[in-house]
Amino acid sequence: MSYNDAEHALVKAAADRESQALASWVGHVSLAVAEDTVVPTSISAKAVVAELIEARKQLRRIGTNYNQIAKVLNSEGEVTDAQMDAVHRALVTAIRRMDEATLQLMRERKEKE
């Protein structure tokens, strides 16, 4: 295998992060990819996955808010329009973010196939 200087520096840095010799790291990673135990992911895909994780956290928080609202309503309490609107806006935003991130991942997978 051969690398230009920039590629060598990049691969060496990755091996260093794992505290492995360069040749050992390259061998280990290339076998993992060849055996489909690791799927290479672009930096942009990693950002999309991070966005999905954040969206899931937001959806979980919104679900908690909905449960709290339901508890109040079930006990004949009062929930204001402002409270309902805030939860609804948060839900719509989180769903939109989840949809966008999912579509981006689907596009990237299709491009690789």
Domain range summary for the chain, segments of one domain joined by +: 5-34, 43-112
pTM for this one? 0.47
Q: What is the pLDDT of residue 56?
A: 82
Buried b (16+ CB within 10 A) or exposed e, 66-80: eeeeeeeeeeeeeee
Q: How many CB atoms lie within 10 A of CB 94?
A: 20
pLDDT per residue rounded down to tens, the chain (113 residues) = 888 999 999 999 989 988 999 999 999 888 887 887 766 666 677 777 788 888 888 888 888 888 888 888 878 778 888 888 888 888 888 888 888 888 877 777 666 65
Q: What is the pLDDT of residue 60?
A: 85
Determine the Cα–Cα distance for residues 58 and 103; give it in Å rounded to an integer: 18
